[in-house]
Amino acid sequence: MKKVLLVAAVAAFAMTSCKKEYTCECTTSSSTGSTSSSVKFDKMKKKDAEKKCDEGDATFSFFGETVTSECKIK
């Protein structure tokens, strides 16, 4: 009986996912300065939050000036 309960407990634990709240912090910089912003992702797996956060990474030209945005999970 103990083995059945142990197997059931391990199976139940394996089926639950580690969904947490993650904060994505982005820093946007150019030659004139930099700014920071953050976004919270609720109830996500870390892998999914990192993927969504990385979508904010970009480099572009704005009125002839290069602007870079880099985002990371904190």
- Look at residue 3 and tell me if it is in a domain: no
Cα distance between residue 15 and residue 17, in whole Å: 6
- Look at residue 26 and tell me if it is in a domain: yes
Q: 17 pLDDT band (50/70/90 cuts)? A: low
Q: Structure pTM?
A: 0.69
Q: 18 pLDDT band (50/70/90 cuts)? A: confident
**Residue 58, strand partner residues:** 69
- Look at residue 7 and tell me if it is in a domain: no
- Look at residue 64 and tell me if it is in a domain: yes
- What the block records as the tokens of 13 is 């634990």
What is the residue range of 54's domain?
Answer: 19-73
- Look at residue 5 and tell me if it is in a domain: no
The count of domains in the chain is: 1
pLDDT of residue 62: 86
Please give the C-alpha separations between residue 72 and each of 21, 27, 28, 55, in angstroms, as whole numbers.
14, 9, 12, 10
Query: Tens digit of pLDDT for each residue in 20-74?
Result: 999 999 999 999 999 999 999 999 999 999 999 999 999 999 899 999 999 999 8
Average pLDDT, the chain: 85
pLDDT of residue 19: 86
- Look at residue 52 and tell me if it is in a domain: yes
Please give the C-alpha separations between residue 61 and each of 25, 34, 58, 66, 69, in angstroms, as whole numbers.
22, 15, 10, 4, 12
- Look at residue 58 and tell me if it is in a domain: yes
- Look at residue 61 and tell me if it is in a domain: yes
